[in-house]
């Protein structure tokens, strides 16, 4: 199960200052996915279909989990061992609100950074990206 953006923060006094205890929501398997890909529509384009569903996903709460603050331990994590790595990068782009600037500046920066950080990479393809804002995130959490 993959976690999604919904989380319930659980207050606790026993954790390090920036660790968070949460209950994440996980997508449930549905046999419908054998014939229909899972989806969640986050934009209101106006509906031109008889199917007015925004999603075919259902979620269930997971167990209580701690998300650890790794600041100061970035070098302890490696892509091959942990599935992620942390590196520092200062982008030339100062505002992430303009799609054309993101495509012209930030994405090429990320492509070069990935080629430097990950061995044996010849091509980078950005599958999906979008300019987000607090309104979009808020609608996901409703």
With bands split at pLDDT 50, 70 and 90, how would you rate the model's confidence at 5?
very low
Residue 31 in tokens = 């046999």
Identify whether 74 is part of a domain.
Answer: no
Identify the CA nearest to 86 among candidates 66, 106, 71. Answer: 71
Tell me whether residue 78 is in a domain: no
Residues 2 and 65 in one domain: yes
Whole-angstrom Cα distance, residue 140 to residue 45?
A: 16
Token pair for 45: 């384009």
Residue 23 has pLDDT above 60, yes or no: yes
Q: Which of 69, 98, 120 is the last residue of a domain?
A: 69
> How many domains would you assign to the chain?
2
Examine the domain organization and report whether 36 and 92 are in the same domain: no
Boundary residue ending a domain (39, 69, 99) = 69
The tokens describing 51, both together, are 């199917």
Confidence category of residue 67, pLDDT binned at 50, 70, 90: very high
Q: Are residues 62 and 94 in the same domain?
A: no
* Residue 26 in this model has a pLDDT that exceeds 90: yes
Domain span holding position 60: 1-69
> Looking at the structure, do residues 90 and 65 belong to the same domain, yes or no?
no
Burial of residue 102, with CB atoms counted within 10 A of its CB: 0-12 exposed, 13-18 middle, 19 or more buried: buried
Indicate if 50 and 95 belong to the same structural domain: no
The span from the CA of 12 to the CA of 86, in Å, is 27
Whether the model clears a pTM of 0.85, i.e. scores above it, the answer is no
Identify whether residues 57 and 113 lie together within a single domain.
Answer: no
Of the candidate ranges 25-34, 57-66, 97-106, 133-142, the one whose mean pLDDT is the lowest: 133-142
Is 53 in the same domain as 97?
no
Question: 54 and 1 in one domain?
Answer: yes
Q: Same domain, yes or no, for 115 and 65? A: no
- With residue 9 as reference, give the H or E element that holds it: strand 3-10
What does the chain come to in residues? 142
Query: DSSP assignment, residue 141?
Result: H
Residue 57 structure tokens: 């996903």
Whole-number pLDDT of residue 31:
96
In a shared domain, residues 64 and 98: no
Residue 77 lies in a domain: no
Pair 120, 63 in one domain: no
């Amino acid at each position: 199960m993959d976690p999604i953006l919904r989380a319930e923060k659980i207050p606790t006094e026993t954790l390090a200052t920036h660790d968070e205890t949460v209950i994440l929501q996980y997508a449930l398997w549905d046999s419908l996915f054998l014939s229909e890909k899972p989806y969640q529509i986050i934009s209101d384009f106006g509906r031109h279909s008889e199917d007015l569903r925004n999603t075919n996903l259902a979620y269930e709460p997971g167990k209580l989990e701690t998300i650890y603050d790794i600041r100061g331990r970035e070098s302890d994590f490696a892509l091959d061992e942990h599935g992620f790595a942390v590196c520092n990068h200062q982008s030339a782009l100062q505002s992430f609100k303009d799609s054309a600037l993101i495509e012209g500046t930030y994405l090429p920066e990320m492509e070069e950074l990935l080629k430097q950080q990950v061995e044996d990479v010849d091509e980078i393809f950005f599958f999906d990206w979008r300019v987000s804002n607090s309104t979009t995130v808020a609608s996901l959490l409703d």
